[in-house]
Structure 1
Amino acid sequence: MKHYMDYEKKYKEQLNENIKKVIEEIDSDYMNIKISKFAEKYDESPESIKKKIIEDEIFRKIFAKEPSKQNFYQNVAAEYIKNIDGVEDFEVLPQGGDKAMYMVSGNLIQGKSLKNKNQNSKSIDFYWRYYKYEVYASHKFIKEEGGAQDNQYQDVQNFLNDSRDNN
């Protein structure tokens, strides 16, 4: 097994899969809404847009789902971690709500127990057992600096600071 995850390769594979699905899903409610909005925006008929999607692969790419909006990076990381020798009971944890897990000042806390719902901690992404250890992990994937990426970097720093006092 590789000791790293090739996110870019996996991203392109998923994007190509999503492009293929555009034709399969062209008559779905989701795609009809997307096509209708596009047609209205550019003063075209939905039928002409559908025809162009079917005939033109480059145009079809406009309607493909963006992998990064499908929990793609989290799913890729999860699949990678699950396949590491020694990993057992792997779980993708809920992102919010009563069953989400948080690390606050060195304490592992379930969402329903949080007193201050406006606290700064983000929910923990993954749990697994690795031999005698229980592992809780935060996962973020960013490619560029600035803006929202800085916020994600800060989220991971906060998680590490909150986890420091928990062994």
Structure 2
Amino acid sequence: MSSSAVSAPVTMLVTRHIAPERYSDFLSWMRQGEILAAGFPGFLGSGVLQPPEGGDQYQIVLRFTDEASLLRWEKSLPRRMWLERGANLVRASHEHRVKGTDGWFAPKAASAPPRWKQAVSIWLAYFPVLLVFSILVSEHLSALPVFWRVLITSVILTPIMVFICIPVISRVLQRWLRAG
């Protein structure tokens, strides 16, 4: 089995503080960077969280298949040239990376819980949500082909899990997750 088959995807969160007078230039430069990254081996996707009105802090999320792919992207000449072109658009920048599901758990901890504890925690959050969803909604979706039922279910449950259930279960089980 290859090392990329067993390694977890890596997410890099880049925080950039933008000079307000360079806002439109920054957006154009950022789109160029997204296009550049999209053509890079191992790139899985990206997203941008804009600051609230009057804010200057952009959050850019980049996902790669593994640490090696992200490292190759970070050290690539095209990326370095792109960063150089945009240096005068950014007042400050900070990067943070997270492997797999580690970022779902308390970020202030020295290390993530063991994978088996993460799996149990996710299951404890997922099972009741899936059960309730199945009881309340499955009957209404039964006429649809399997593809559409699964698509609708995942589109509804994924944000519920990521933004509500996983953070709640992480707080509830925090002691157990951190225990040796």
Please identify which structure carries the higher strand content.
2
TM-score normalized with structure 1 length: 0.29
Higher Cα Rg: structure 1 or 2?
1
Structure number with the bigger relative contact order (C-alpha 8 A, sep ≥ 6) is 2
| Greater share of helix | 2
